Amino acid sequence: MVQRLGAEFLGTFWLVFGGCGSAIFAALFLVPNVVAGQSVQAGIGFLGVALAFGLTVVTMAYAVGHVSGAHFNPAVTIGVAVAKRFEWKDVPAYVVTQVAGGLLAGLALWAIARDKPGFSVTGGMAANGYGENSPGGYGLVAVFCAEALLTAFFLYVILGATDSRAPSGFAPLAIGLALTLIHLISIPISNTSVNPARSTGVAFFNGAGAPGQLWVFWLAPIIGAAIAGATFHLVTGVDRRDRDISGEIDADDVTVAEGVDPNAAR
């Protein structure tokens, strides 16, 4: 368990640091154009941030997924437990570790960002939010629905990609690309969470009302993940409940997802 939690801590840290870091430091980057006499946007924009989040999952899934199952997300941990593909007794330790990894990443981002003259960390730490804290001004209902729906589909992809009948070795790519697509859809809506650890990791360093709205980015993703976990076998006809429990997988199944199967922690 110590190694599994270490892998979850490392993976969640990388997700928050890489994903939120790309939004903080690289999404909008203006450079002077001497010829035109004005600044030119050389940042990565929404597309780059979305890709960065996806890449954090892909890289860490391949790096440590064979150790912990590569959840890096409390909603995913709860969702796969609802799907009976993860032991409920291990859920609290995973969730606490993921939040701790996210908070340490948020601290690292805050320490780097505040050292730039003129940069205000208040409201500038890529926090999630609704209303005035939504990039596009979307309200609570829209943000809640988007976060729940997108997290549900994220878990559907995870459960399907890590099934033994899915193409071997490609699960990290499918999961990372799913997270990229999710960000392309919802960065304007909520700055995209679908991950309570990601939201918690930067909310308190961001301020500007983000801590008070944090409950939405816990409740909505968990509800979405729980719905997906409870219905995946009904929707797809793939019923592996009580077969892919952590620590009880056959060796042949472990190799299928190349370390990303959410039940592969052992």
12-16, 59-63, 172-176, 260-264: range with lowest mean pLDDT:
260-264
Q: Whole-number mean pLDDT of the chain?
A: 88
Q: What is the mean pLDDT of the segment spanning 175-185?
A: 97
Per-residue confidence band for 38, with pLDDT thresholds at 50, 70 and 90: confident
Is residue 137, in this structure, part of any structural domain at all? yes
Report residue 249 as tokens.
């997988």
Q: Is the pTM of this model over 0.85?
A: yes
3-state helix, strand, coil in the chain (%, to 5): 65, 5, 35
Is residue 91, in this structure, part of any structural domain at all? yes
Is residue 227, in this structure, part of any structural domain at all? yes
Total domains in the fold of the chain: 1
Helix (H, G, I), strand (E, B), or coil: what is residue 41?
A: strand
The answer on pLDDT for 131 being more than 90 is yes
Which letter does DSSP use for residue 249 in this model? -
The answer on pLDDT for 236 being more than 90 is no
Is residue 123, in this structure, part of any structural domain at all? yes
Q: What is the mean pLDDT of the segment spanning 215-226?
A: 98
Residue 128: count other Cβ atoms within 10 Å of its Cβ.
30
**The pLDDT of residue 263:** 45
Is residue 266, in this structure, part of any structural domain at all? no
Is residue 259, in this structure, part of any structural domain at all? no
Is residue 122, in this structure, part of any structural domain at all? yes
State the Cα–Cα distance between residues 129 and 118, nearest whole angstrom.
Answer: 24
Q: What is the CATH number of the domain that holds 85?
A: 1.20.1080.10
25-29, 174-178, 209-213: range with lowest mean pLDDT:
25-29
4-18, 108-122, 126-140, 237-251: range with lowest mean pLDDT:
237-251
Is residue 261, in this structure, part of any structural domain at all? no
How many angstroms from the chain centroid is the CA of residue 195?
5
State the Cα–Cα distance between residues 257 and 164, nearest whole angstrom.
Answer: 8
Per-residue confidence band for 135, with pLDDT thresholds at 50, 70 and 90: very high
What is the domain range of residue 160? Answer: 2-254
Per-residue confidence band for 245, with pLDDT thresholds at 50, 70 and 90: very low
